Amino acid sequence: MSILAAPNMPALQTNSVALLAPEQAGAEPALLDVALKNYLQGEYVKALKAYTKLVQCDASDEEACVGKVATLQKLNRPRGALKACQAALNLIPTSQSLLTLREEISQELGSEATEVLAPVDAQMEELFVECAEDPSGFDDGDYTDCDSTAASDMEDTEASAPCPSAKSEAFARREGKALRRGRARQSGPREPDAAAMASEASAAWRSMRKASLIDCYRGFYAETRSKSVDTSNYTKPEKKGLTLKGAHQYMERPEHVDLPEDHGAIVGELSAEELAAFGCDHARGRLLISLHGDLFDVSDRPDKYGPDGPYSGMAGHDITWPLWSGLDSEEEVDKYFDLHRTATVEERDRRFQGLMSWWAFFEQEYGCPVGRLSVYDREWELPEPPKVEDLCCIM
């Protein structure tokens, strides 16, 4: 990667990247210090949050723009990096650092670069997620930048929503405000430390965190009525985990489905073995899926989850891990981990946001959960999740 410091400015070297030393930068040295410190420590989500705040304060701040682009590259988000780079160049077109970065990222993306740089609808131009700003500082790690794609299908004047793991900039701002208002109203438990997180003492915090994110995404899907997940704009690395043929595309609802008599009926708490009975071979056609322990009745989509559907292997199973990891094969279902004890807070928050976005999407599509999976009763007793590649959670 090229040297990123602006000409004639002192820089601090890390690997092959040089970012400006904060004490030599202009305004808001404290925030620049936070950004650079997190960058050097490999806390890229935190660094991105700080650099983004600097860019929001002054979109022509070359140091902040370069830092944001470099951090997006570290997060393996070349499309987002290229968009951020071009947005900065629109204001500071003579920046040699940004010009070099644009050329470098464009070469990495190949033919995709033309598409990324093409003019698009203003509401779809910047797709990233900013979620849950903690008033205590910049180190909460709740910022996510995720290359998104918008569904290509349009019906009348209704635009399809982007992938549940990423949203438009306009929604990101509304989402952040909503979560901040929610946090202001709540006097609930603070985030547990590592020891408490592995015990029942974390139960209240887990419940509050999940509820706040679900509320946020409910509003989004209520506005957009998203119909599909379109993977055409995902990069090749992000598609590596996708193996199901005929899946990951918009599928019209069948005109008529012979629903089972107990469709939508509450089933209460089921074990994993009991859930398996509601798979694609269920005698009465009732199909259930577990997402983070909540059971959704998907019986009205036999075209997806029935014996001949692309997701037939998902019915009767827990699909939390496939959504979390981005690995869609049937071998990945029914893998249970305590997702709140991911190796880093940044990865946990980013992936849990995506997971709860899918939860809200399933609720919109299939209604409220009809039961719970007992495996998640004491989630903190489950093993810590293994490290996975940075794939998008698509299902």
Q: What is the pLDDT along the chain (395 residues), one digit of tens a residue?
A: 333 333 333 344 433 445 554 444 444 457 888 888 889 888 899 899 889 888 888 888 889 999 999 999 999 899 889 989 988 888 888 888 899 999 999 999 988 888 788 753 333 333 333 333 333 333 333 333 333 322 233 333 233 444 454 444 444 445 555 554 554 444 567 889 999 999 999 999 999 889 888 888 887 777 665 554 434 434 444 444 444 544 455 678 888 888 999 999 999 999 999 999 999 887 678 999 999 999 999 999 999 999 888 888 899 999 999 989 888 778 889 999 999 999 888 888 888 988 998 899 899 889 999 999 999 999 999 999 998 865 444 44
Per the listing, tokens 């997971």 go with: 355
Q: Which pLDDT score, from 0 to 100, does residue 206 have?
A: 92
Domain 11-119: assigned CATH number: 1.25.40.10
Task: Classify the phi-psi angles of 77: left when phi > 0, otherwise alpha if psi is within -120 to 50, otherwise beta.
Answer: beta
Handedness of CA 147, 335, 273, 295 (dihedral sign): negative
Whether the CA torsion 125, 79, 47, 62 is positive or negative: it is: negative
* Angle between the N-to-C axes of helices 62-74 and 78-91, in degrees from 0 to 180, rounded to the nearest 10: 170
Q: What is the dihedral of CA 132, 135, 140, 146, to 10 degrees?
A: 30
Domain range list for the chain: 11-119, 143-224, 237-381
Measure the CA–CA gap between 81 and 74, rounded to whole angstroms: 10
| pLDDT digit string, tens, across residues 216-259 | 888 777 766 555 443 443 444 444 444 454 445 567 888 888 89
Phi first, then psi, for residue 24 (nearest 5°) are -100, -5
Residue 89 near residue 95, CB atoms below 8 Å: yes
**What is the CA 107 to chain-centroid distance, rounded?**
26
Radius of gyration over every alpha carbon of the chain, rounded to an integer in angstroms:
22
Q: Which residues have CB under 8 Å from 156's CB, separation 6+?
A: none
CB contact at 8 A, 154 and 110? no
Give CA torsion, residues 333, 335, 341, 342, to 10 deg. Answer: -60
pLDDT tens-place string over residues 329-369: 788 899 999 999 998 888 888 889 889 988 998 998 899 99
What is the rounded distance in angstroms from the CA atom of residue 125 to the CA atom of residue 117?
10
Rounded CA separation 289/159 (Å): 28
User: What integer pLDDT is reported at residue 226 of this predicted model?
Assistant: 53
Q: Output DSSP code: residue 199.
A: S
Looking at the chain, list the stretches that DSSP marks H as alpha helix, in order from N- to C-terminal side: 29-40, 44-57, 62-74, 78-91, 96-109, 112-117, 169-185, 194-197, 203-224, 272-276, 302-305, 320-325, 345-366
Q: Note if the pTM is more than 0.75.
A: no
Q: Quick check: helix, strand or coil at residue 143?
A: strand
Domain 237-381 matching CATH 1.10.287.130: the answer reads no
